[in-house]
Amino acid sequence: MEGETIIRRLLCAAGIELNGSAPWDIQVHRPELYARVLAEGSLGLGEAYMDGWWDCDRLDEFFHRAAAARLAQQLKMTPGLAWLWLKSVISNRQRKSRVWQAADVHYDLDVALFEATFDRRLTGSCGYWAEADDLDSAQEAKLDLICRKIGLKAGQRVWDIGCGWGAFMGFAAERYGAECIGVTISEEQARYGRARYAALPVEFHVMDYRNFHGEADHVVSMGMFEHVGPKNYRAYFEAARRALRPGGLFLLHTIIANERWPAIDPWLDKYVFPGGVLPTVGQIGEAVEGLFVVEDVENFGPDYDRTLMAWRANFQTSRPGLAEKHGERFCRMWDYYLNCCAGGFRSRGIGVGHFVLSPKGVPGGWRGRLRGAAAVAA
């Protein structure tokens, strides 16, 4: 009963009740839940959900309220979290020999899962909803925005760091007449992209970004920097700077955190993004010092909330078939991932940053270039 009392008190601070009637209240099926959460924190909460120990009609709103009330910071540090934090301090969890774990756990999953969740281009990062009404339009608006921000022109070569399934490269080649080369740590992503974009001037290479030695007129990176890790931030930007030809621009699209702690979530680290760490604006600024001029920063974090909820709606439509193939526990994990991330963005504890970087500064200023840029049909 003591564990239940503690959990009840914590949830009450966020306006959440145990076995309450509101859609964000949690329904407890196993009383062992309380001890598991107190002992294991975020990891115990997530695994208990996967095991069916509790449910919630609106997981997204549960996480929004919990994040806004900073409930995670009010729990005692668990041994698992302490060990994860210690490893991140004393070792490089994102060193070259470990980067492939993210592919093993997440990116090499059955492509049908991503096709059932994402937009038609399989764009695995935040859409841009300023003038969009649906997921496909939001993702194309984001891809077009990136092309305009770097001033992309026909015939130019772009290096995509962490190219995923090739959404940006395909779009840039089709709409702007660009040539693109992308690196990914996922064999499955490269295989998919090579088949889908075989008729376009795009290349997929399975390698760590630190091993790339080519040149490009521009560099872009979307949803990959979260895998780099603080010990490698400088090496990452040095790699981009080496590849960038004079006059080029680097567009970094990444999730950003408002504070460095807590930057690691044990459940997400185990089940979705091993080695993932969210950077702060300050960490990015420190890492680019002396390498790049920061031309522009835009934060459209609320758009990721809407993107994730659109992904969840897609996933729910296909869930019966996916459950037959992957099992209900896996589907509960996937649904939990989408909802907890949506709640985090809704709370504004995390955001989405667009950083436009130039090696020596854009003569006359970058904003004039953006206003004058126009899409070029391939």
Exposure string for 21-57, b = 16+ CB within 10 A, e = fewer: eeebbbebeeeebbebbbebbbbbbbbbbbeebbebe
What sign does the CA torsion over 9, 13, 18, 20 have? positive
Q: How far, in Å, CA of 33 to CA of 38, rounded?
A: 9
Is there a cis peptide before residue 320, judged by omega within 30 degrees of 0? Answer: no
Helices of type H across 134-232:
135-149, 167-176, 187-196
Query: Closest Cα to residue 268, out of 104, 43, 48?
Result: 43
- Using an 8 Å Cβ cutoff, are 192 and 165 in contact? yes
Structure tokens that stand for 140 in this block: 């194309």
| Annotated active-site residue in 126, 163, 331, 341 | 341
Q: In the annotation, is 341 catalytic?
A: yes
SS3 content of the chain, % helix, strand, coil (to 5): 50, 15, 35
* CA dist., res. 118 & res. 314, Å (int): 7
Give the whole-angstrom CA distance, residue 196 versus residue 215.
24
- What angle in degrees, to the nearest 10, is found between the helix axes of 33-50 and 328-346? 110
Structure tokens at 244: 């960038």
Task: Report the C-alpha gap between 277 and 226 in whole angstroms.
Answer: 5
Phi-psi region at 247: left, alpha or beta (left = phi > 0; alpha = psi -120 to 50) = left
DSSP letter at 160 equals E
| Catalytically active residues, by annotation | 341
